Structure formats: C-alpha cells, structure tokens
Amino acid sequence: MTPILVFDLETIPDIEGLRRLHQWGEEVSDAEVAERAFAARKELTGTTFLPLHLQRVAVVGCVFRDDKGFRVRCLGQADDTEPVLLSSFFKTIERYTPKLISWNGSGFDLPVLHYRTLIHGIAAPRYWDMGEDDKDFRYNNYLSRYHTRHLDLMDVLAKYNGRGNAPLDDLAKLCGFPGKLGMDGGQVWDAWSNGRAAEVRAYCETDVVNTWLVYCRFRLIRGELDQTAYQAEVDLVRSTLQASAEPHWAEYLAAWS
C-alpha cells in the first residue's frame, strides 16, 4: 500500500522573530513579547491569532500507516529545535513519498511549514516537486489544492467552500470518536510556556488519531473501503492504543463510544 502520513502541528509565537521585527531587546521577557504581539493583533483583527509566518512549530504529530501497521507519535523530542522538527518531517516525505492527510492543512499547517522552512533554509525537494523531477507529480503533487497526494479532509468535505468548514472535534464526536480531550489549540502557548510540553504533545497525538479515524470513515463513504476493511482499520487503531502504556491513550479509549 502507499504509505499514508496524517500530520498536525502545534505552534507557539515565534519569540525570536517578533524580537527581530520589533527590535525588542532581552529586557522584554518572552512572555511580554507574546503578550505585546497578541495585543497588537487583537487590536488589528479582533483576534489574538498571529500571522502564519510568526507561528513557530513546537510539535509535529503524525500517524503513519503502511504495510507494517499503524503508528502514532510526535516527531523528535520536546526540546528539539524547530529546524530539527522540520527536517524530520520532510525527510519522511523524501524517504516514503507518502500520501499526506490533514484537517485544515491547506489553510494552516502547510503554509506554516512553507514559511518556517523558508526562514530556516530547510530543503524539501520531493515535497516541492511539481513535475520537474518526477513526471507523475505534474498531475498529482503535494501543492495543488485539487490533487490528492495531499488531502485536506476539511477542505474536501466542505467542497472547497470555506463557509462549509466544520471543526474536527465536532465531526470526530459526531462519528462516535473521542474528539479533543482536555485542551485545544488556543491553550497551547500557555501550556507550553508553563512547562507542560508533554501535555501538548499528547494532545497533538490524539488530534492526528481523530483525523485518521475520520479519514477512514471518509474512505468508507467513497467506497475505497468496504465495511469489513473499515472495521479492520478501526480495530487496528484500538488494539494499537490499548497496547500503549501512555496515560493519554487510556483516557482516549475511555472516551471512545
């Protein structure tokens, strides 16, 4: 089977970048840098959500499904630098050329990755190929919105109409899956800056499993999986998580109807 990589980012303010752009010195604490940026953004737009190029990648959560089975984890370690995380993600693409699956990846995750790899100078030739090196990528590449080498499940289900977008948490729960547990994206910076990196990483892992399960349901409704094959995929997720000693998976399984 073609390897499938479900991915999700957790981001925090790019403190170093904000310092550089605003010429704020070390006398301004990291927390104050973030608060100033949030306040300025809220005054301008009504929300504290920072521009994508000022979102630093803190966590990359992944589900990887291939002939060897189902795996879920966050790349690297909590104290890895952003370039290390970015390089690890794109090296996976270089090695496996997987099908990428995301929820709002076209609107958030991939643009963030584009900006951050540009800032750090991280090469990703396989990802950026549009047919120059591999002719198959001319008609199915990672960059085109309407190609399937990257499938933004939220975008497809909304028929590429932003007014139809639905939250992953809602859809997962409506399909009978656990959805988000204990955190959402708006709480990541507070948790991360207060030393709760492990909690953020666990949250990201549950989100990619939610995405994978909704994607399996999508494959069922489009006829790519029959009922037996679909149930086998769901059972594989359950059995894999049941074998884990990580406490967030026990909580996740307990919430699974």
**pLDDT given at position 65:** 98
Q: Are 160 and 148 in contact (CB under 8 A)?
A: no
Task: State the Cα–Cα distance between residues 195 and 216, nearest whole angstrom.
Answer: 34
Query: Alpha-carbon Rg of the chain, whole angstroms?
Result: 19
Task: State the Cα–Cα distance between residues 246 and 91, nearest whole angstrom.
Answer: 26
Low-confidence ranges of the chain (pLDDT < 50): none
**pLDDT given at position 7:** 98
**pLDDT given at position 226:** 98
HEC sequence for 216-247: HHHHHHCCCCCHHHHHHHHHHHHHHHHCCCCH
pLDDT per position as a tens digit, 15-59: 999 999 999 998 999 999 999 999 999 999 999 999 999 999 999
**pLDDT given at position 182:** 78
Name the pTM for this structure: 0.95
Q: Which of 174, 178, 167, 169 is nearest to 257 (CA)?
A: 178
Where do we find the tokens 């521009």? 51
**pLDDT given at position 183:** 81
In which domain, by residue range, is 166 found? 4-254
**pLDDT given at position 184:** 79
CATH code at position 33: 3.30.420.10
Q: Are 18 and 31 in contact (CB under 8 A)?
A: no
**pLDDT given at position 201:** 97
- Total of domains in the chain: 1
pLDDT per position as a tens digit, 110-125: 999 999 999 999 999 9
